[in-house]
A and B are shown apart, each in its own frame.
Chain A
């Protein structure tokens, strides 16, 4: 069964450094998302992406964050200058198109654990 994959599984970085988290969504999916989960807290929405542009973003997704679909398979989240509070699990999710409507179901990847020191 197709799955969303994410790399790396764990990223450790120094405060102020740039990180790029990578995701390969399910191949026939067209809507992509990033979420994060700080340890012990609930999963929070960051951004959604469709047709090569941001569809919606949360207050968390400030100017330090950006997303890109550099080719036909990858979807990336870049954090320009990491802060201690960016330490979290980051999940990519994707959603397919069914006919002319999207189905509601989002499928999640295994996550990247980002640790900012």
Chain B
């Protein structure tokens, strides 16, 4: 069974703090995607990482794909209340069009 373990499950911080969300698996992924999901809506893509060791930045968000392509992290610098939401990681086991395997998500709450 391929599993994608995401941690922490819940995170409550103050505005201005930094945080990191982790996504780990024993499986090797051809790519890993990070999504953000609002209640009652579909996942909205933040980034796709493909190459082992790859780092991508999206404003205050930094995404890293592990060298072995088994893990990834999302780091948010100086969190703002607008960052509040559910963050999902999802991995693809191959490029051949297979399903995404999702983590359970990290619910982030940033208070001002």
Interface residues of A (CB under 8 A from B): 4, 6, 31, 33, 35, 41-45, 48, 50, 55-56, 58, 89, 91, 93, 95, 101-111, 113
- Give the 5 A-B CB pairs with smallest separation, nearest first: A45-B99, A104-B31, A108-B42, A43-B102, A105-B48
Residues in B with CB closer than 8 Å to A110 are: 41-42
Contact B100 A109, beta carbon cutoff 8 Å: no
B45 contacts partner chain A, Cβ-Cβ < 8 Å: yes
Contact A42 B95, beta carbon cutoff 8 Å: no
- Of the candidates A31, A55, A91, A105, the one whose C-beta lies within 8 Å of that of B33 is A105
Contact A56 B99, beta carbon cutoff 8 Å: yes
Q: How big is the B interface, by class?
A: 20 to 34
Cα separation A44 to B44 with both chains bound (whole Å): 16
Given contacts A33-B99, A106-B100, contact A42 B105 (CB under 8 A): yes
Contact A111 B41, beta carbon cutoff 8 Å: yes
Number of A-B contacts (CB under 8 A): 68
Cα separation A113 to B102 with both chains bound (whole Å): 19
Given contacts A33-B99, A48-B98, A104-B33, contact A43 B40 (CB under 8 A): no
Residues in B with CB closer than 8 Å to A93 are: 100
B75 contacts partner chain A, Cβ-Cβ < 8 Å: no
Contact B99 A58, beta carbon cutoff 8 Å: yes
Question: Assuming A33-B99, A104-B33, A108-B44, what are 6 further A-B pairs, CB within 8 angstroms?
Answer: A4-B42, A45-B101, A50-B97, A56-B99, A108-B35, A108-B45
